Chain A
């Protein structure tokens, strides 16, 4: 199990690094897919089958396809032209992000909360339990997410409509 964990971690980290470091945008998206698959593998390793399957279905099967779709419709995907600049002088943004993430990680690891939430044998939760939790304990966040997604959907329609009206 431990070996699989390290292999998956290596795939995940390499995928994430390539996703931000490669110049060709298509290569970047494909690296991102590798990263998503690595995360899904970690979920399966934790016995969270449902989460793993949903991760692949949503992120690899839909989100990344849409990214690829959008990138292929644009020009200059190879990224050969122009000087290469990392962060574009905004080093403080990178530093800020690094500090926030380090702080979050430190808080999580110090409080050891993950170990409390997850039982020793991994989270073998059934879909019935997930469903029940969603409509009882977590109903408010669940509904809030639903409202957020609906708002995003309506926003997309409004933007697309403006385009149609302008063309007329």
Chain B
């Protein structure tokens, strides 16, 4: 028997390890896929097929000189990349990776496939991920120069706007499920149908807003190389820059995990034995595999879109968020409410 605390620590270590591993390889995947899409080969020098490229990149970042420009506010300048990185690592705690793991030699009760089974799950995710904007705003402000500042201002306006869309777009999902607990959301989908099919509008708006929240193309206005010279991280170098980079990809991972969990069944597949909590260890591990496969699918989608669609103009971004998505989400909530009232009657 292993004490419960140790089980929790092992789970946290596994989740963070796997997540950061996937994040590192997403960077490689991004470079490879963009190369293929542009009819190039991509990184292929380090290791077989360039598979050791992330290791080389990491070492390079660590050994590079850490430039601290004299005009920056040193405390916030150092703090900002940390803040940018942390929210994605915290919020992954409430996302169920699998149903449960039954290991009798380790614990009597099945081990749940989620670190923290919070009742306010999704609200917690939104609350913590809304802190991510501070990393970018502080980076822009503390850099104390024009372009990072403009990038920071743009970013905070963009992220606040799309947070509203993101929050409102998932309301119909929870009206249908009747709980904010992500574990329950997945179990509902395992028993009934994937919410992506019953709430297509929610799903679409959530997906687009997630692109905006993670600052990915076509919403990468905070960076906008051509106008802002890289935006908020212009002044950053070495590992501090790498942390912004990792933060962006970790946020992408988190957004993909939420897409999979909320709209595409999380760890479940719509047939036995994958549509019910696992009774054996093998099925439990396969559930985790299914979840990770779905997440990787969405990560691929993120990369695919980035190298396909050009950037929005700033006014288009704001029009889309405030004049199109917010009315649509409100309408969606109204329609879902009426339909649910009629059905349950």
Which residues of A pack against B, CB within 8 Å? 26, 33, 49-50, 53-54, 56-57, 60-62, 65-66, 68-69, 72-73, 126-128
Contacts and interface: CB of A to CB of B under 8 A. Distances in A.
A49 B118 CA distance: 8
B137 interface: yes
A61 B137 contact: no
A60 B156 CA distance: 13
Contacts of A69: 137, 153, 156-157
Q: Helix, strand, loop or mixed for chain B's interface? A: helix
Given A50-B123, A53-B123, A61 B131 contact: yes
Contact of B130 (A49, A50, A56): A56
Interface size class of B (residues with CB under 8 A): 20 to 34
A53 B91 CA distance: 12
A112 B118 CA distance: 31
28 contacts: A49-B119, A49-B124, A50-B119, A50-B123, A53-B123, A53-B124, A54-B123, A56-B128, A56-B130, A56-B131, A57-B123, A57-B126, A57-B130, A57-B167, A61-B127, A61-B131, A61-B133, A61-B163, A62-B163, A65-B133, A68-B137, A69-B153, A72-B137, A126-B119, A127-B119, A127-B120, A127-B180, A128-B178
Q: Which of B118, B123, B156, B178 has the most CB of A within 10 A?
A: B123
B127 A56 contact: yes
B124 to A, nearest CB: 5
Nearest to B130: A61
Given A50-B123, A69-B153, A69-B156, A26 B141 contact: yes
B9 interface: no
Contacts of B128: 56
Residue of B126, B127, B178 ringed by the most chain A CB atoms within 10 A: B127
Contacts of A127: 119-120, 180
Contacts of B178: 128
B149 interface: yes
- In terms of DSSP, what is the predominant structure of the interface of chain A? helix
- What 5 pairs between A and B have smallest CB-CB spacing? A61-B130, A56-B127, A53-B123, A57-B127, A53-B127
Nearest to A77: B141
Contacts of B180: 127
A50 B118 CA distance: 10
A60 B267 CA distance: 32
Contacts of B131: 56, 60-61
B293 interface: no
A36 to B, nearest CB: 11
Contacts of B229: none
Contacts, number: 64
B4 interface: no
Contacts of B245: none
B134 interface: yes
A10 B130 CA distance: 24
B59 interface: no
B10 interface: no
Interface string B178-199: 1010000000000000000000
B305 interface: no
Interface string B94-133: 0000000000000000000000001110011011101101
Contacts of A68: 134, 137, 141, 156
Interface in B148-185: 149, 152-153, 156-157, 160, 163, 167, 178, 180
Given A61-B163, A65-B133, A127-B180, A49 B120 contact: yes
Contacts of B126: 53, 57, 61
Contacts of B118: 49
Contact of A62 (B119, B124, B149, B160): B160
A79 to B, nearest CB: 14
Contacts of B163: 61-62
Contacts of B149: 72
Nearest to A78: B73
Contact of B156 (A57, A65, A128): A65
Nearest to A68: B137
Nearest to A55: B127
A69 B159 CA distance: 12
Contacts of B124: 49, 53
Max chain B C-beta neighbours (<10 A), residue from A57, A69, A126, A127: A57
Contacts of B127: 53-54, 56-57, 60-61
Contacts of A53: 120, 123-124, 126-127
Contacts of B156: 65, 68-69
Given A60-B127, A61-B130, A68-B141, 18 more contacts: A26-B141, A49-B118, A50-B123, A56-B127, A56-B128, A57-B123, A57-B130, A60-B130, A61-B127, A62-B163, A65-B130, A65-B134, A65-B160, A68-B137, A68-B156, A72-B149, A72-B152, A126-B119
